[in-house]
Amino acid sequence: MSSSEDRVEKVVIIGSGPAGWTAGIYAARANLEPLCIVGVPRQDPAPVLPGGQLMLTTEVENYPGFPEGVTGPEMMQMFQKQAERFGTRVLGADVERCDFGERPFTLHLSNGDVVRTHSVIIATGATANWIGLENELRLATTGGGVSACAVCDGALPVFRDKPLAVVGGGDTAMEEAAYLTKFASMVHVIHRRDEFRASKSMQDRVLSAPNVQVHWNRTVVDVLGDEFITGLVLQDTRSGETEELPVNGLFIAIGHSPATKFLEGSGVAFDDSGYVHLPDGGSSRTNIDGVFAAGDVADHVYRQAITAAGMGCRAAIDAERWLAEQGVE
């Protein structure tokens, strides 16, 4: 698809996870002829693929409508097919820069194209922060028991009644550890310092659990296992000594980074954590008229496929109503 100085899109969706495809389904059924710019694969340090974080998830058991479960890539393929069925057009490129200073808006793409549009839905998601170890990333991408979301994966049968590890010391790590105590024989919390950053209430909830063991002043320097994780190599941050810890699951909880670099200088407002700020919590509208946001790029609380899909629906409806107000049909 080449750029056209004459064509002005009604709505462009940037991103192709649950939020982006759901926005595409709703926008297409509203006859908005949406263009979905899905991105291109890259390594950062784990693979970042069109389709979002679910492309790295082998089994999804908590999305309604799939009683037997479904793999993340299969689910995203179904979402895309459904969006395309109603007329969503797909463009494989990255948006490198946005000009929201005047309407129609201008999007500059990695393939050199320029796209002009009356409205934009930002649905680029957020990527988990990884330690960056070769075996960690390999096992995370092959279903080998390494994950960045305990709420997503912790209840899977493969992790039940097994020793599991959580890396991190903030509120997210405490939430992940507390959740895993329901399923694990032991939850090993690994933290590089001698105290947590998490709130006192969250710390107390974890530290009081009978099946939690904290490994203070430790970092993970290797992940053991061929097809599935069997253990970790921990290093003492003070002495440098190493030790092996047998575990059958590893959950990385050291934060997420919203995919917003392409929005720098665009005028879109961010919150204190760097996520797209939605001034009205009940709406997908950003601080710029005609620019909407959906999914993990604007949600640092839930970060679930189903909440992202719901936000994508909301953004498409908001965009449709806004376009009608502008007289764009």
Residues with a catalytic annotation lie at 149, 152-153
Q: Dig out the tokens for 74 from the structure.
A: 């299969």
Q: How far, in Å, CA of 140 to CA of 61, rounded?
A: 17
* 242-246, strands of its sheet edge to edge: 218-224, 231-236, 242-246
CA–CA gap between residue 188 and residue 207 (Å, rounded): 11
- Computed over its alpha carbons, how large is the radius of gyration of the chain? 21
**Quick one: angle between helices 18-29 and 72-85, nearest 10?**
20
Handedness of CA 277, 280, 284, 288 (dihedral sign): negative
Q: Say if CB 140 and CB 156 are below 8 A apart.
A: no
Tokens standing for residue 257:
């980074």
What single-letter DSSP state applies at residue 13?
A: E
Residue 105, H or E segment: strand 105-109
Within 10 Å of residue 203's Cβ, how many Cβ atoms? 17
Residue whose structure tokens are 């950003």:
286
